[in-house]
Amino acid sequence: MTRCTGTTIRRPGTTDRRRARALLIAGLAALLVVLAVAGCTPRAVDTGNTLVIAIESEADILDPQSAGGWVTWRINRQIFEPLVDEDLSVPSAQAPVPELRPGLAESWDVSPDGLEYTFHIREGVRFHDGTLLDAEAVEYNVRRMWDKNSPQYSAKAAGQTGFVWKFTEDVRTVDDHTVIIRLTQPFSEFLRMLAQGGNGSTAIMSPAALKTYGEDIADHPVGTGPFMFAERVRGERISLERNPDYWGNVPEIAGVVFRPLPDASARTAALRSGDVDVIAVPNPDSVDNLVDEGYQLSEGRPPHVWYLSFNMRDPIMGRKEVRQAINLAINRDGMAKDLLRGTVNPAYGVQAPANSAYVERTDAYARNLDRARELLAQSGYGGGFTTTLTTSVDGSGQIIPSQMAEYLQQNLAEIGIDLEISTQEWISYLGVWAQGAAPGVGMAQMSWGMTSPYWLYIATSSDLIAPNGPNVGYYSNPELDAAMDKALRATDTADADVWWRRANDIVTEDAALAPVVNDKAPYILAPYVSGFVSASEEWYDLTEVRLEQ
């Protein structure tokens, strides 16, 4: 992360912000007097040590097992924790794939046949509601996501996390701090998937809260994480406060406020005015100016792919030559350099570079208009055609999706394809996207990717075709399924990666997807913000962040 040095750099608006905070504190003090008279005992508020982050869209629900999208997991991750975690304290330049580390399980054992995982649960950990974490609480959560016969089973949680529990046969509590999960087959990526988030998470929630609030749990989120839920005003803010009893390193800051500002210019203005301390997804045109003004740029190499899924049920997109032609018509390098100003890299592989099975295939994805036109002629559509691309107007990992779609529109027009664009707000789009490409839609866009090569299985397996999984293009290829099955059953990472790379090649040669760019996930920070690390994930750890002003 580039840091500002020297003593003369002042953040525009800092004085105004201090005045505003002083007025806010005075107002809160008056409110405390009123509440005290009324017999209430409110929590103390340290507004001067609260980090404010402007995020790129409204967040989904604060139920980590049921929510979708990175923008939401960045919030939920501060409240909730999984059994297995990742070390996000190391920048991606030093750790292309984050190291797995103990989460709520302080250790685990795997049987020699790869079928049984024994998790040893931390002792002395409490949920934010004061109840103790134990093995039964873990089993309760697993059954909520997996066991259709359990009273706490949630179809939505199962829908979002099913790819994690796909091979689960049983879960049982052995004693107060030991849980065993048994699988039907070896699953080489199981531990890494327990640490993942974004499209659902296996983070552990308070069973007491789940029993109390039921379907309203998202309005009363209770986890074990370093921050506790304080307030949500939809469209305005989600406020968290420091968990003083956190079992790990207690955060440096008193709290964090996430403010949804879908317009990139509004985020930049809020940073310059002192209303926020950090902004996500800055407008690419603004980055250099902000750095020149003394703000900090933090970016990395997260496992991100901005890609298109082709609708295999569409008579035109069902032809491989058409899909190959579209891939060859996309000017990935131009989009990365000219439109997005170097805030991304062109994507030349179906997997993100930040995983061990990445394969670069410039032969399939470097621009070649002559070959694209030849392929269209071979397909019988040399005269061109009209099709539709669906995308969002904002959202986590989406960068500037409308402008990027328009850039693709121009690219495809050069080979005679008339691309119509259909857009929706991010959370609405997620719901529509998950149902699968609709009739008449040729391509559906998404931003995703994982440090685990298992992501390819999630996106393309015939077992996960929408609406029963994220294979929204209805792609099915027995050769691909067989290669991925061998990768999943391998108990050695090197052996697994051989099969994952073969799977990458199959998807590439069949043009099942169109990778476009890999985001660097830039954040702009005020000069006084320190301790923020861009690790090789699309989310972050805020426990070490400090406001030094």
Q: Is the pLDDT of residue 38 over 70?
A: no
* Nearest alpha-carbon partner for 103 in 229, 224, 241, 245: 224
Q: Predicted confidence band at 200 (pLDDT cuts at 50, 70, 90)? A: confident
Q: Predicted confidence band at 11 (pLDDT cuts at 50, 70, 90)? A: very low
Mean pLDDT of 217-221: 97
Mean pLDDT of 96-105: 95
- The region of weakest confidence among 3-7, 136-140, 308-312, 483-487 is 3-7
C-beta neighbour count of 361 within 10 angstroms? 17
Strand duo 105-110 + 168-175: pairing = unpaired
Q: Is the pLDDT of residue 509 over 60?
A: yes
Per-residue pLDDT at 48: 76
Q: Is the pLDDT of residue 14 over 90?
A: no
Distance CA 436, CA 307 (A): 15
Q: Predicted confidence band at 491 (pLDDT cuts at 50, 70, 90)? A: confident
Residue 424 main-chain phi, psi, to 5 deg: -145, 160
Strand duo 344-346 + 513-519: pairing = antiparallel
Helix (H, G, I), strand (E, B) or coil at 54: strand
Q: Predicted confidence band at 47 (pLDDT cuts at 50, 70, 90)? A: low
Per-residue pLDDT at 46: 60
Per-residue pLDDT at 496: 94
pLDDT tens for 378-417 read: 999 999 999 999 999 999 899 999 999 999 999 999 999 9
Per-residue pLDDT at 27: 40
Q: Is the pLDDT of residue 480 over 80?
A: yes
Q: Predicted confidence band at 198 (pLDDT cuts at 50, 70, 90)? A: confident
Per-residue pLDDT at 28: 38
Distances in whole angstroms, Cα of residue 548 to Cα of each of 96, 272, 528, 529? 29, 17, 5, 6
* Nearest alpha-carbon partner for 267 in 540, 56, 15, 539: 56
Higher pLDDT, 249 or 1: 249
Distance CA 22, CA 12 (A): 17
Task: DSSP for 374-406, please give it.
Answer: HHHHHHT-TT-EEEEEEEESS-TT-SSHHHHHH
Per-residue pLDDT at 354: 86
